[in-house]
Each structure stands twice: as C-alpha cells, then as structure tokens.
C-alpha cells in the first residue's frame, strides 16, 4: 500500500517563500507529482520528479529524495493567486496510477 503525509494547512505572506513537505511510504515507487488545485476546479500539474534532486520551474521548485521518501514543493515570490491546495501524489512501480495525499491548503496573506 501507499501512505502519503503532508501538512493540512499553511499560511504565508505575499512575496515570501514557502516550502510544502510531503513524505511517503510506498510498496513500490515510480515518481512523485505535485498538483495545484483551486477550490471547485480540477488539479493543475506542477511538477514530476523521478530522480533525486531539485527541479526548478520558474517560481516553483520541487525536490525529491527517494531514499528518505521525502519531497517538498518550494514556492517563491508568493502571489495572492497562489492560495490553493497543493496535492502530493505518487505512482507505484510500473504504474501510472496515482495515489494522492490529502493536500495542503495554502493561504497567502497580504
């Protein structure tokens, strides 16, 4: 089975940097995804990590450590529109079936 943990809620200030952590325990591992979901909308793809290390994409970066079962999503220069839920999800070995964490609700305040 798969177990994914991430904080339920976080609050950060506009213009600041925030790090959302995700830990996972899986019977097999293929890759880890981060998605952004605004209320009432479908998730939007942010990043996909397969190998250890940091992947940077503009204001968003994602880090993966397979040996530690750990990932984080780093958001820089926070904007009000970044207020959303951020979902960590993993795929098992040889599968594209995603298992989602419960999501972290990020509130960006002025």
Partner 1 sequence: GAVVSQHPSWVICKSGTSVKIECRSLDFQATTMFWYRQFPKQSLMLMATSNEGSKATYEQGVEKDKFLINHASLTLSTLTVTSAHPEDSSFYICSASQIVTGELFFGEGSRLTVL
According to DSSP, residue 52 is labeled S
Residue 69 touching partner 1 (CB under 8 A): no
* Between 48 and 70, CB nearer to partner 1: 48
Nearest to 30 by CA among 99, 84, 87, 86: 99
Span between the terminal Cα atoms of the chain, in Å: 41
CB 66 within 8 A of CB 1: no
Q: Which of 26, 29, 31, 55 forms a contact with partner 1 (CB under 8 A)?
A: 31
Stretch that binds partner 1, among 14-22, 64-72, 76-84, 98-106 (CB under 8 A): 98-106
3-state secondary structure 63-75: EEECCCCEEEEEE
Q: How far is the CB of 56 from partner 1 (least distance, A)?
A: 17
Q: Which stretch binds partner 1 (CB under 8 A): 11-19, 21-29, 60-68, 90-98?
A: 90-98
Residue of 41, 67, 81, 110 that binds partner 1 (CB under 8 A): 41
């Amino acid at each position: 089975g798969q177990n994914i943990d991430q904080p339920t809620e976080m609050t950060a200030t506009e213009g600041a940097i925030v790090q959302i952590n995700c830990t996972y325990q899986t019977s097999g591992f293929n890759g880890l995804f981060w998605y952004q979901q605004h209320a009432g909308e479908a998730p939007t793809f942010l990043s996909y990590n397969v190998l250890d290390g940091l992947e940077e994409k503009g204001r968003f970066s994602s880090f993966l450590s397979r040996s530690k079962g750990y990932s984080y999503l780093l958001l820089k220069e926070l904007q009000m529109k970044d207020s959303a839920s951020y979902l960590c999800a993993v795929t098992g070995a040889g599968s594209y079936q995603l298992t989602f964490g419960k999501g972290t609700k990020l509130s960006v305040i002025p």
